[in-house]
Amino acid sequence: MTDAPVPAVPEGVHELDIIGVRHGAFGASGSGDTSGFGGLVEPIVMPAPATRPFGGWFDEVSDEIELSLEARNLPATGVIEKVVIHRGEITYHVRREHLVAFATALRDEPGLRFELCLGVDGVHYPDEEGRELHAVYHFLSITHNNRVRVEVSVPDGDPVIPSLVALFPTLDWHERETWDMFGIVFEGHPALTRILMPDDWPGHPQRKDYPLGGIPVEFKGATTPPPDQRRSYN
C-alpha cells in the first residue's frame, strides 16, 4: 500500500487517529475510477479522544451524565468508549449495549433534559476494522439550549443497534432510512422496512462498497454510459 502523507492537525485538535488510507477521490473500488483522481492518496483521519478538562459547558454536561449513569449503577467508563471534541462540538462514543440507558439519562435527567433527538445518520468506514458501521445521533436540549452528539460503532458482521423509537418517536423514519441506506439493524424498531428503495432492492446504496451500477442515459445524438462502464483513469 502506498504511504499517505501525514495530515496537518486542524486548529483546536491536539492529535489525530489515522484509521486507514483512501485511494482516489471517493475510495471506491471495483467499479472503475470515473473521478479523474485515481492517483490521489490521502489518510483517513479522525480527531483523537479528548481528555479532561474539556472546557466550557462540556465539563458540566459530562459531570451530569456521569452522575446520572452512576445512579443507574452504570460506571461511565463502561458506557462511554471515548469523548471527542472537534469544531466546537462534543461527541460521546457509547457502547451499543448501553445506548438505551445513556439516551434515557440524556432525556430524563433534570440537569440534562435533551428532550429531542433530531435524527440518526449512518456512516460506513470500511477501513475501520471491527467498527465499520457508525450510527450518529443528534440530541437537543430545549430546556438548557445545548446540543450533543452520540455515536455508536458496530462491526459489519454484526450491525445490530438497539432502537430508540420507544424513547424518541421522531426516530421512526430516521432509523428506517439508516437501515435502508447502510444496513444497520435497529433491534426493537416497530416496523424496520425500507423507506426510500423498493422492498426487493438488493444491498444498501450509501455504503462505500456498494457498486456504482446505473443505466445508460440517452441524449439527442449521444448516449452517456452508466458510471461503472465509463473509462477508468490511471
pLDDT at 5: 55
For 87-135, the DSSP string reads: TTEEEEEE-GGGHHHHHHHHHH-TTT---EEEEEEEEE-TTSTT--EEE
pLDDT at 18: 79
pLDDT at 220: 74
pLDDT at 117: 98
Please give the angle made by the CA atoms of 86, 88 and 89, to the nearest 5 degrees. Answer: 70
Residues 218, 222, 227, 230, Cα dihedral to 10°: 160
Where exactly does CATH 3.30.460.80 map onto the chain? 49-223
Share of the chain above pLDDT 70, in %: 82
Ranking 20-34, 129-143, 207-221 by mean pLDDT, the lowest is 20-34
Q: pLDDT tens digits for 111-133?
A: 999 999 999 999 998 888 999 99
Are 205 and 121 contacting, i.e. CB atoms less than 8 angstroms apart? Answer: no
Does domain 49-223 fall under CATH 3.30.460.80? My reply is: yes
DSSP H or E segment with residue 79 = helix 76-79
Q: Cα 122 to the chain's mean position, in Å? A: 5
Q: pLDDT tens digits for 199-217?
A: 998 999 999 888 876 666 6
Identify which has the larger pLDDT, 13 or 156. 156
Are 178 and 152 contacting, i.e. CB atoms less than 8 angstroms apart? Answer: no
CA distance 199 to 196: 9
pLDDT at 209: 86
Map grid coordinates 487517529 to a residue. Answer: 17
CA distance 82 to 74: 15
Look up the pTM and report it: 0.82
pLDDT at 12: 45
For the chain, give the mean pLDDT.
Answer: 86
Distances (CA, A) of 67 to 43, 75, 76, 77, 213: 38, 9, 8, 12, 50
pLDDT above 50: residue 37? yes
pLDDT at 13: 47
- What average pLDDT does this structure show over 39-51? 84
